[in-house]
Amino acid sequence: MSVYRLLIIGPPGAGKGTQAALLAKRLGVPAISTGDIFRENIREKTELGVQVKAIVDSGSYVPDELTNKIVADRLAWHDALGGFLLDGYPRTPEQVVELDRILAASGHQLDVVVLLEADTDAVVARLLKRAQEQGRSDDTEEIIRHRQDVYAAQTEPLIKTYDERKLVVRVDGIGTVDEVFARITAVLGLAAVA
Ligand code: ADP
């Protein structure tokens, strides 16, 4: 299976960012995280950052119009022309439509959707630990719970959409970073070493 255009999807705290970085490196494609793009803009106090700070801090989703534009711009960069790994996008049905549109415009389509599975108790525990270590402003218990609810209501239904397209591979996200990465490479038919 040739995999160049991928998504990694799963609840907040499932370890998507960590695995996305490893997998993108392994495949030689850029890992594009909308959450990272938003956080960087917030840190740098750009116009976008100022616009989205309160939303991101509250754990709700940034409006589709804004998010879609950011992703369309980012996917047009030279480094993403041969492939990409999207982490945290699409997260709503409207974003699925937009990604389809972007890909169709260049005659491409998604190769695979990696679903990183982890139950709510495990991901909440992980995020609370990260809160202590990194102090991310959206990692308080109340906002963590809200992010899980938003994911369940808005993003989980997308799995069905991609299942119907036969794109989803499921990976157990509980285990060490290496264990989970080995599962991902195995299910994608990639050699385990870089
Ligand atoms: P997590 O994996 O914990 O959800 P992310 O870094 O992926 O964290 O996202 C952090 C926040 O950035 C989200 O809670 C949301 O406010 C915003 N965000 C990221 N991606 C999107 C998206 N595709 N659509 C809308 N908002 C997004």
Q: Quick one: three-class SS letters along 53-122?
A: HHHHHHCCCCCHHHHHHHHHHHHCCHHHCCCEEEECCCCCHHHHHHHHHHHHHCCCCCCEEEEEECCHHH
Examine the residue annotation and report whether 130 is marked as an active-site residue of this protein.
yes
Q: Which atom of ligand 1 is nearest to the CA of 36?
A: 6
pLDDT value at 192 more than 70: no
Domains of the chain (ranges, CATH numbers): 4-185 (3.40.50.300)
- In the prediction, which pLDDT does 193 show? 61
Taking CA atoms only, the protein residue closest to ligand 1 atom 1 is: 12
Name the catalytic one among 5, 26, 39, 91.
91
Give the pLDDT confidence of 113-163 residue by residue, as tens digits: 999 999 988 999 989 998 889 888 888 889 999 999 999 999 999 999 999
Examine the residue annotation and report whether 74 is marked as an active-site residue of this protein.
no
pLDDT value at 72 more than 90: yes
- In the prediction, which pLDDT does 135 show? 80
Name the catalytic one among 136, 145, 160, 170.
136
- In the prediction, which pLDDT does 175 show? 94
CB of residue 173 inside a 6 A radius of ligand 1: no
Give the pLDDT confidence of 105-114 residue by residue, as tens digits: 999 999 999 9
Task: Output the average pLDDT for the chain.
Answer: 94
Examine the residue annotation and report whether 16 is marked as an active-site residue of this protein.
yes
Tell me what the mean pLDDT of segment 161-190 comes to.
Answer: 96
CA distance 116 to 54: 28
Q: Which atom of ligand 1 is nearest to the CA of 55?
A: 16
20: nearest Cα among 12, 9, 75: 9
